[in-house]
Chains A and B, each alone.
Chain A
Amino acid sequence: MLLNDSQIFLDLELSNRDEVLEFISVQAQQLGLIENQEILLKDFISREEQYPTAFQEGIAIPHAKSVTVKKASLFFIKTTENIDWNSPDHFKVKFIFAILVPEMEAGTKHIKILSALAGNLIEEQFQERLFKVNTKDDILNLFKSVEMEVV
């Protein structure tokens, strides 16, 4: 399972990109999905510095392909306010999908699903559904529709 209840956080009061990335790193460590939260945070941030992952107004997809990740997984966060993501277009985000992938993983079904998610995120129809999510079930259902595409 790439995504489950304990990896979804709605209405979090976080105020900037680094707080979000730190929050995810701490949660991932507590859930045993990674070896070291500091390494994950560093990898998240270095990806952002290379190229910010807020690709349009509202949505960011921070991702880390990292040696510290034990198991491919996904986190979803919805913040209470639109937050600044340090992107060149100054996009502010509220819906965040964080993607964690082990360094050596390629070509697996997990990767396929995560790629499909990324592809879906630029579709207006999918975005409309995303912007309306209120509950963890809404997010799980939305994600299920992505998984169905791949199977």
Chain B
Amino acid sequence: MKFVGVTACIAGLAHTPMAAKALEKAGAKLGHSVKMEQQGAMGFINDLTETDILEADAVIIAADKAIEGEERFKGKPVVRVKLGQAVSHGEAVIGKIVQALEKRNQS
């Protein structure tokens, strides 16, 4: 499957890149494509393009504050996850989302 998403934390310098990397790494390991935009103290890193969003099966938002540009995801399934879960348990997070989407596609 293909996922896009956004990470954002309060200080914007540690958990933002960590959660993004953890989810991308987990995706690669489980055979899914994951691209996370980081909205942190460095501005936007790894910006999502319109095509990225269009092609995605779902959107993952891992943030403990409001993110910018959420309207871009209108019409897509949006999954919100805790930043801490994303950083520490990236594979479990991706696994659960994939499972939920598969179930939804079957019904």
Q: Does chain B have a CB within 8 A of A31?
A: no
Kindly list 13 other residue pairs between chains A and B, CB separation below 8 angstroms, not including A63-B13, A115-B41. A52-B84, A55-B84, A63-B11, A99-B14, A101-B11, A101-B13, A111-B13, A112-B42, A115-B13, A115-B16, A122-B22, A122-B25, A123-B21
| Interface pair A51/B18, CB less than 8 Å apart | no
Does B21 contact A122, Cβ atoms closer than 8 Å? yes
Residue B59, interface by CB 8 Å = no
B11 touches A51 (CB 8 A): no
Tell me whether A53 is interfacial, beta carbon within 8 Å. yes
Instruction: State the CA gap A105–B17 with chains docked (Å).
Output: 17
Identify which of residues 19-73 in chain B touch chain A, using a CB-to-CB cut-off of 8 Å: 20-22, 25, 40-43, 64
State which residues 115-151 of A face B: CB under 8 Å: 115-116, 118-119, 121-123
Chain A residues near B (Cβ < 8 Å): 47, 50-53, 55-56, 61, 63, 65, 88-89, 91, 99, 101, 105-107, 111-112, 114-116, 118-119, 121-123
Residue total for B at the interface (Cβ-Cβ under 8 A):
22
What number of residue pairs across chains A and B have CB atoms under 8 A from each other? Answer: 68
- Give B residues with C-beta under 8 Å from A: 10-18, 20-22, 25, 40-43, 64, 83-84, 87-88
